[in-house]
């Protein structure tokens, strides 16, 4: 980000002080909402994008002197409109554009900042417009790929593509080195993993990693920001949902406690439940709800076995448990 900001500042400084056009700087004396002007502007936008980016200054002659033509219509154009003009002749939505104002001496000029294209952009349609005498003028041909040749925008040569490959390879090397620094700087015991940014993890909007709670000891440990996103049920809600799903069996809070202890839910199954601290009530997941319903339906002795195991464990600890009878 810092490098991109410094490049932007350097382009603005060049636009404000340079007196001649260059690979990254172009002056345009006029701008109107006509096909002729849009063809010429699009040609330079694409050429600069293919050459690493640059800046267009409007209302200035080729030597940088004011042309005396009001070109502020550009500043009134939404960037989506400019991008749509590029799309019209290239079939590609190029969004690395920014309109701004630069000051050259005592005069302010509208300008267009152009970013770098990740892959060279070819023209998919010819840029044509009709001259006053009725003849057609072709600004660029279909299938051509334009680059900046000094102060001019021209069809690409083998050398242009070679330079683009060099820039791409250099950028990839820098990205690789940044990644290596992160790996080397990782604290002992940490795991470095590549993740997709397609879908955000549930409840966490600042990461692109998708994840699922698991008791797999090899899984990467994560900590949800909001437990309720993973464990939406309190004990009473869990029991109600289970009893609503079952036809002939009803469970109570003692059954949940027995199952939690018999199956070591809080220690061995983080995908089922969480208990942030000893004084907090447990919270349960949808996965636990589904698992309990399935176990109770498939095993008639599931609840009785859990109660027996829990009672035996309590006796081993020297705890006597007496179950109260329900009042009729």
Residue that finishes a domain, picked among 162, 189, 204: 162
Q: Does residue 99 sit within a domain?
A: yes
pLDDT at position 226: 66
pLDDT in tens, 288-305: 999 999 999 889 899 999
Mean pLDDT of 145-149: 96
Residue 110 is assigned to a structural domain of this protein: yes
Residue 224: pLDDT over 60: no
Is residue 30 in a domain? yes
Are residue 34 and residue 135 in the same domain, yes or no?
yes
Residues 31 and 112 in one domain: yes
pLDDT at residue 175, rounded to an integer: 85
Domain co-membership, 141 together with 23: yes
Residue 202 above 50 pLDDT?
A: no
For 213-235, b where at least 16 C-beta lie within 10 A, e where not — what string?
A: beeeeeeeeeebeebeebbebeb
Please report which confidence band the pLDDT of residue 146 belongs to, taking 50, 70 and 90 as the band edges. very high
Q: Write out the residue range of the structural domain in which residue 50 sits.
A: 9-162
Is the residue at 131 inside a domain? yes
Same-domain check for residues 19 and 105: yes
Inside any domain, residue 119: yes
φ/ψ (deg, to 5) at 27? -100, 140
Scored b (16 or more CB within 10 A) or e, 99-121 reads beebebeeeebbbbbbbbbeebb
Answer yes or no: is 85 within a domain.
Answer: yes
- CATH code, domain carrying 29: 3.30.950
Q: Of 138, 162, 186, which marks where a domain is finished?
A: 162
Residue 171 lies in a domain: no
Number of domains the chain is built from? 2
What value does the mean pLDDT take over residues 141-163? 94
- Does residue 111 form part of some domain? yes
The answer on 254 and 157 residing in a single domain is no
* pLDDT value at residue 204: 41
pLDDT value at residue 195: 58
Does the pLDDT at position 83 exceed 80? yes
288 or 187, greater pLDDT: 288
- Tell me what pLDDT residue 212 has: 63
Q: What is the pLDDT of residue 47?
A: 96
Say whether both 270 and 133 belong to one domain. no
Is the predicted pLDDT of residue 321 greater than 60, yes or no? Answer: no
Of 116, 145, 162, which one is at a domain's C-terminal end? 162
Of 273, 307, 274, 304, nearest in space to 291 by CA: 273
Please tell me whether residues 66 and 158 are part of one structural domain.
yes
Q: Select from 40, 71, 58 the least CA-distant residue to 152.
A: 40
């Amino acid at each position: 980000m810092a490098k991109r900001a410094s490049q932007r500042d350097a382009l603005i400084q060049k636009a404000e002080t340079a007196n001649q056009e260059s690979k990254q700087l172009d002056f345009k004396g006029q701008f109107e909402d006509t096909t002729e002007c849009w063809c010429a502007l699009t040609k330079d936008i694409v050429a600069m994008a293919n050459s690493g980016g640059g800046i267009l200054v409007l209302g200035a002659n080729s030597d940088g002197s004011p042309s005396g033509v009001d070109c502020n219509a550009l500043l009134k154009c939404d960037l989506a409109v400019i991008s749509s003009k590029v799309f019209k002749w290239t079939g590609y939505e190029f969004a690395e554009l920014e309109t701004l104002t630069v000051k050259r001496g005592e005069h302010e000029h509208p300008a267009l900042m152009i970013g770098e294209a990740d892959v060279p952009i070819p023209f998919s349609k010819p840029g044509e417009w009709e001259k006053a005498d009725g003849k057609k003028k072709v600004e660029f041909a279909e299938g051509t790929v334009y680059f900046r040749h000094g102060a001019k925008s021209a069809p690409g040569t083998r050398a242009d593509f070679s330079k683009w490959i060099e820039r791409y390879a250099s950028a990839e090397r820098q990205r690789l080195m940044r990644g290596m620094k992160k790996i080397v700087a990782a604290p002992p015991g940490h795991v470095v993993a590549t993740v997709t940014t397609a879908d955000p993890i549930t409840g966490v909007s600042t990461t692109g990693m998708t994840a699922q709670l698991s008791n797999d000891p090899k899984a990467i440990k994560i900590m949800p920001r909001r437990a309720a996103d993973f464990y939406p049920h309190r004990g009473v809600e869990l029991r109600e949902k289970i009893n609503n799903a079952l036809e002939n069996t009803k469970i109570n809070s003692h059954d949940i406690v027995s199952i939690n202890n018999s199956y070591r839910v809080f220690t061995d199954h983080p995908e089922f439940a969480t208990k942030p601290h000893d004084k907090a009530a447990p919270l349960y997941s949808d996965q636990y709800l589904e698992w309990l319903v399935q176990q109770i339906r498939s095993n008639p002795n599931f609840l009785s076995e859990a109660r027996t195991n829990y009672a035996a464990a309590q006796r081993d600890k020297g705890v006597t448990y007496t179950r109260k009878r329900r009042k009729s």
